[in-house]
């Protein structure tokens, strides 16, 4: 064998040995560390702060872990820190931020090599979709987490993770008002051999809530007692907040509204401590005060419920990016897997792999160009449909005195319908309606009008009363639906 042939074969052997088709790269260049005692110790500290609900300190430690892990090229540290970020931002209802960190974790080699981490990522993706009410998509992610858990060798850990998924699927059935199915999943979870206290608490408190909804208060009290036992063991603000809320519902169902109010307020304080939005508690408090005949307090909490719900609607616009982020990543993973299998076969034929890289590069470049072109076309189309929108928006943003008169010229149908159906509207009311029609947020309106957020929220609340809107109806969406034809200005 001549030297050239030997070198060619040796190069091919090295190529095959170093090339990793799952991560589409070369392991030689990664040189990842299998363990880093310093960073592993920091992870334990960060996770401890997370478990005791001290999220600020947990975030500080995760930041430190990411910085050190990037310098040390330590994939385990990055994976677990990203999942830690995602867990905290989920609790704070920042679902888009939570999802972005889960996608970062999913890209790490350590995550792909460890079924425990892949379970955590898929499970938390399911939680984010679950929280948005995208139940079918959430179930798909929960099923992915079940598939990942089946690869876990530790039987106890596997069982605890499966039970966690069962509880969440039960919650989806409860939210869909399919109580028999919800009972099935909750009771299977509670009666399992799980050693995870969070699973025991969540399944028992969920069963208790279902019994309250069914009016079976003796059974509700029984499982509420179980939940209290596990909550004491966990000693967590989060579990205490949930326990207090369900305990309040049980007390209300028994007609003990005074104690129910105390329990709701305790839950409210704990949620505020955790920086968690809790509009349902304001509604429950309003209902309890109404039953006691204290209408002034009932109306005050109902007003607060509407305000928080409106701000959550605005936050939901941001969080609606979550399914798009996940879908894009899933599609990319499918493409990557297909390409990797193809590349592994092509590698055996030598340098043809370079051609594949070139094709992929040109394809991605072409797709990006198409995306940019499509976006530009959409922008141009929007400009053609509403060539006066930018002018009116600029007048609004600068708080120009000409704003309202110009808006009326551009949207005459909208203005005429408002004043004909609601003649008691003031000029300030009409200006606020105009800003909402232009899709300015509550925060933006406050900045434009040099007012506080609370002032703008109060003005919106008064407008709701003038329009006679139901509590559940979103005023911003209601304004958008007035005179749909007026979206194309004169």
Average pLDDT over every residue of 260-275: 90
CA distance 54 to 46: 9
CATH class given for the domain over 20-148? mainly alpha
* Token pair of 320 as six digits: 């609606």
Measured from the Cβ of residue 315, the count of other Cβ atoms closer than 10 Å reads: 14
Identify the CA nearest to 123 among candidates 107, 100, 99, 157: 99
> For residues 232 and 238, is the Cβ–Cβ distance under 8 A?
no
94 has a pLDDT exceeding 70: yes
78 has a pLDDT exceeding 60: yes
More confident call, 95 vs 222 = 222
CA distance 155 to 147: 14
SS3 category, 26: strand
Contacts of 182 (CB under 8 A, 6+ apart): 170, 171, 173, 174, 206, 210
Identify the CA nearest to 160 among candidates 151, 149, 168: 149
So what's the pLDDT on residue 97?
A: 85
- Measured in degrees and rounded to the nearest 5, phi and psi for residue 20 equal -110, 105
Contacts of 342 (CB under 8 A, 6+ apart): 356
So what's the pLDDT on residue 316?
A: 55
- Exposed, middle or buried by CB within 10 Å (0-12, 13-18, 19+), for 31? exposed
CA distance 205 to 228: 8
So what's the pLDDT on residue 312?
A: 61
Q: Taking the domains of the chain in order of start, what are their residue ranges?
A: 20-148, 355-382, 389-487
User: DSSP assignment, residue 452?
Assistant: -
CA distance 102 to 87: 9
Tell me the pTM: 0.55
CA distance 466 to 477: 16
So what's the pLDDT on residue 27?
A: 46
So what's the pLDDT on residue 26?
A: 45
Identify the CA nearest to 150 among candidates 109, 124, 122, 188: 122
pLDDT, tens only, 391-438: 888 888 888 888 889 998 888 888 888 888 999 999 999 999 999 998
Residue 360 φ/ψ region, left for φ over 0, alpha for ψ in the -120 to 50 degree band, beta for the rest: alpha
* Token pair of 122 as six digits: 């898929």
86 has a pLDDT exceeding 80: yes
* Helices (H), ranges, 215-236: 217-234
- 20's enclosing H/E stretch is strand 19-20
215 has a pLDDT exceeding 70: yes
pLDDT, tens only, 343-352: 555 555 556 6
Helices 279-291 & 257-273 angle (0-180, nearest 10): 160
Helices 135-149 & 321-347 angle (0-180, nearest 10): 40
So what's the pLDDT on residue 16?
A: 42
- 487's enclosing H/E stretch is none
Identify the CA nearest to 404 among candidates 419, 413, 415: 415
Identify the CA nearest to 489 among candidates 381, 401, 408, 398: 408
């Amino acid at each position: 064998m001549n030297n050239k042939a030997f070198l060619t074969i040796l190069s091919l052997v090295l190529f095959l040995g170093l090339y990793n088709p799952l991560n589409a790269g070369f392991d030689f260049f990664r040189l990842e560390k299998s363990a880093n005692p310093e960073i592993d110790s920091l992870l334990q500290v960060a996770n401890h702060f997370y478990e005791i609900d001290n999220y600020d300190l947990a975030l500080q430690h995760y930041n430190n872990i990411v910085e050190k892990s990037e310098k040390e090229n330590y994939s385990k540290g990055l994976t677990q820190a990203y999942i830690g970020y995602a867990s905290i931002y989920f609790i704070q209802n920042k679902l888009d931020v939570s999802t972005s960190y889960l996608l970062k974790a999913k890209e790490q080699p350590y995550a792909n090599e460890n079924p425990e981490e892949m379970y955590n990522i898929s499970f938390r993706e399911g939680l984010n979709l679950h929280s948005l009410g995208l139940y079918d998509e959430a179930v798909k992610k929960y099923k992915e987490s079940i598939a990942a858990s089946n690869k876990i060798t530790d039987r106890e850990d596997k069982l605890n993770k499966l039970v966690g998924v069962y509880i969440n699927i039960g919650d989806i059935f409860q939210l869909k008002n399919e109580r028999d199915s919800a009972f099935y999943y909750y009771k299977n979870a509670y009666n399992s051999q799980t050693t995870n206290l969070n699973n025991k608490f969540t399944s028992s408190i969920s069963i208790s809530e279902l019994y309250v909804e069914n009016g079976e208060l003796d059974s509700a009290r029984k499982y509420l007692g179980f939940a209290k036992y596990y909550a004491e063991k966990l000693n967590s603000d989060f579990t205490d907040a949930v326990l207090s809320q369900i305990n309040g519902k049980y007390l209300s169902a028994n007609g003990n509204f005074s104690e129910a109010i105390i329990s709701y307020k305790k839950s409210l304080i704990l949620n505020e401590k955790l920086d968690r939005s809790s509009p349902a508690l304001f509604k429950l408090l309003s209902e309890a005060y109404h039953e006691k005949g204290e209408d002034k307090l009932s109306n005050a909490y109902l007003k607060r419920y509407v305000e928080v719900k409106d701000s959550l609607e605005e936050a939901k616009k941001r969080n609606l990016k979550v399914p798009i982020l996940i879908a894009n990543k899933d599609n990319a993973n499918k493409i990557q897997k297909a390409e990797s299998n193809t590349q592994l076969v092509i590698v055996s034929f030598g340098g043809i792999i370079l051609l594949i890289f070139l094709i992929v590069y040109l394809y991605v470049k072409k797709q990006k160009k198409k995306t940019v072109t499509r976006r530009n076309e959409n922008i141009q189309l929007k400009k053609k449909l509403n060539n006066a929108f930018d002018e009116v928006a600029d007048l609004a943003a600068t708080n120009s005195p000409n704003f309202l008169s110009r808006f009326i010229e551009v949207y005459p149908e909208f203005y005429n319908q408002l004043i004909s159906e609601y003649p008691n509207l003031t000029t300030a009311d009409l200006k606020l309606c105009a800003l909402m029609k232009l899709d300015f947020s509550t925060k933006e309106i406050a900045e434009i009008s040099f007012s506080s957020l609370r002032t703008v929220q109060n003005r919106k609340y008064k407008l709701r009363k003038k329009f006679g809107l139901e509590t559940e109806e979103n005023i911003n969406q209601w304004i958008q639906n007035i005179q749909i034809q007026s979206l194309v200005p004169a």
